[in-house]
Structure 1
Amino acid sequence: MTDLKKTDTLGNPWQTEDIRATNLSVRWQHSLIGIQSIVLVGLDMAMLYASWTISDMVGTPVAGAHVANSMIPILAVSIGTLATAGFYGTDDKLNRFSKLFKSLTVAQTVVLIAAFFYQPGLWISRSVFVMAWLLNFLFIGGARFALDLLTIQLRKHNPVFQHPVLLLGTQQDIHNVKKLIERSKQFKVDSIIDLSIWDLHTQLEQVIQYICSRQVSEVFVCTQDSIDNQIILFWSLKAAGIHLRMIPAETQLPQRSAETKMIEEIPTSRFKSLPIFGINFLMKRLFDLIAATVISILLSPILIATAIAVKKTSSGPIFYRQYRVGLKGNRFQVWKFRTMVENASELQKELEAQNEVKGGVLFKIKEDPRITKIGKFLRKYSIDELPQLMNVLQGQMSLVGPRPLPVRDYERSLENMEQFSRERFLRYEVLPGITGLWQVKGRSSVDSDEIFYWDMVYILQWSLALDLKILLQTIKVVISKEGSY
């Protein structure tokens, strides 16, 4: 470890290590980061090779031309383009589909131009080229999506795969960031520096020395306003191969993804507008219509069998219709298979005292006596929610979104507006969904704060790729019966 008490020739109390010796250690100091990059490069090369080979076999042949003869430059251009776009860095988001599509399109364009100049008229056909372009995206995107899910599971069950970090800030800010880290499963907190104990103005050298001794990969600055010498701290940590990450003071609500833009020499963070508007809403709606129709057809045998089972095992109607609050606060009737006794609504008043949801805004009881035997099975596998595909086709709901609240829960939230932040009501600015982030992230939670947190994450970070990811994760959660009531 570098002795931070050394001074340079001018007597300045900062690090005197040769900066030319530090660059490589920043990215490769931890073997797991290097292994991840190597795995990604190998995976992408395999997917590129498979997609081009399949396209060459299926597409229109050109006499004397074969993709195999040009595979090395194709792989070099494609991998180089992905590397330039940052797909082999330390970003935990492996499947950035929109950026991946653009990067592969650029790579394909470069390959096309190179082929035109070096082998005009003697290369592959247009059908092979277009097919390879689409398969490149599907194969690489699918492989990275699967690897992303695998990585999440490895980190969840094996802390050794989580990057060690140090938190620096006030006690309250450190507490908020720790909750954020626990949700992500990407990092583990190795140590903390509480600024109520340490004085950065007089103890900066000791703080840097302590951080370097911990051998962490990153330092999370949770309280930026308390650091007067940010540039010295940043320089010292960077030279030691440690990344510095600034966390917003307000971590209670998620923020829209930001991009760094320079104004002259000053870096600024630009937040894009909320995504579920205009053309994006129409794209989401089209996706819902197509997917809901296909799912309804595929699951029709299950729907018919469930309807017969509900009718024969308990008295009452097959479907249960309840008024819920949806887009812009409008009320609509949601369809579900009936899982409770006929007078369930009247019995709820007697059970209010047993409500397990913190704050009482939502109503949930794990051992609800109103649920029928067949109802327990339907709820365990979320089969009771399938009739809501009808609500999706009618435009009242989406496949993915915040769950629509019953009128009782909505009115409770209005009565307690002073207790809760007004941001919660942004959930009524989008279509409610059959499933959502809460269902796949914290389904067993009975804390209304966490439920609304995941609603806000979804609203602010929405994309069609996120919808697809949630749908796939919902299948996993349902099959494993995680957190089912």
Structure 2
Amino acid sequence: MTTNTLTVTTFKPDLRSAKGTTIQRGLKIRILRVVTLIFLDVIALTSAWTLAAYYGTSIEYLWAEQIPLLMFMLVTAISVIAVKGLYKPGKERRNYFGLIQAVSLAEILLLFIAFLYEPESYVSRSTFLIFWFCSVVFVCCDRFIFDVATKQLRCQGAIRHSVFLITDSQDQKNHIKLIEQENCYTVQGIADPSCLDLVNREATFEHLRKQGITEAFVSWNAIKNRLYVCWHFQTAGIILRILPMETDVCYPKSVFWMLGEVPCMTIPAPIIAGSDFWIKRCFDLSCSILVLLLLSPIYLAIAILIKLDSPGPVFFRQNRVGLHGKNFKIWKFRTMVNNAEKLQASLETNNEIKDGVLFKIKNDPRVTRIGKFLRLYSLDELPQILNVLVGEMSLVGPRPLPSRDVERFKTKHFIRQEVLPGITGLWQVSGRSDIDNFEDGVKLDITYIENWSLWLDLKILLETVRVVLQKTGAY
């Protein structure tokens, strides 16, 4: 098995952390499109309402005379259209059949609500049918007019998205032709896949930021096996579009769409890039301070029990490999005899991890009596709150490993070191020590990195409480 030497040059932030909070690039054009469509739909629906009131059967309590109900009608109809995704770009906003369905559903709902709101008022069939027919025709017409006007403006070079193409030289012509078919993009630059290599990556993203690139088209061959590149695009606020792609490939957080007749995959950038990570950091700090305040009596009790149980210090500090291969000292309550690390070499033959990367054995003779109890409920991990406070760790993330384990890593394993290590993680809540194959654990860590969100962190924390109380896989 080949080994890899750890080198630390300059400090880099967590993979999920942007250099600063960044508004998604190209957001102004997208907001302008949605606002314009809503404005046109409001005009269309109001016009339909007015015509229905004028040409329908004249009655004393006509809907059109009730301004609050008119406003409610507009809100309901616009909401139904939005929920069906008909304000999205591309073919979605030109889905006329979907528009007919949405408008019809909204007006049936309004008819029902009006009946409950004014059960004794008569609503003529002619008024309702005129309103429905005019609404459908006017909304579809406003979309058609919007599309024609948009195409004309884009032919003049306006309201286009600035994009960058990264693909192999032999595919560049085909991919440019494919992109130009959409008539909404301006290709501002082209590069080969080497621009995403480690040595070139920072310069590439700096160039994209300076050029004001809103979307990047990247061939599948250029991005596969480069999981971390997706996070770089996200934290830069740039939408990533992967093309063309194999039909059996699926990527976390991806959305499928069609570029002409070619299926492509989009990994959208968040509206405010980088904000989630800093919210995570604030959450870590707040929880850490709260835990220290609430559990200080437990910390004191554990410290006394450790001193009474065996000679040695209360805390155990060990070198662990953290973010980007940087070494740091992890804090734990001591659960083993004082010379435990020296005794490990004589126990290597008893290692129960199949591939030998990690070191784990049940009934470890080095563990003290109080240590077994602390490990059973993971209480020995509590001092790592101090590592969280100083920014060396997070509450949730891949567990930091000793140098002995990291030196046995293969190249593909180092993706774990691209994010802040955590006190708990997906690996820990999916079996803890019961997972006896390092590769299985790494897959869980990569799954966490690919699918990371604040909600996922919260679910893992809640699941950790359940796992600890049930003593699942603990030894």
Bin for the TM-score computed over the shorter chain: 0.3 to 0.5
Task: Flag the structure with larger Rg.
Answer: 2
Give the structure-1-normalised TM-score. 0.47
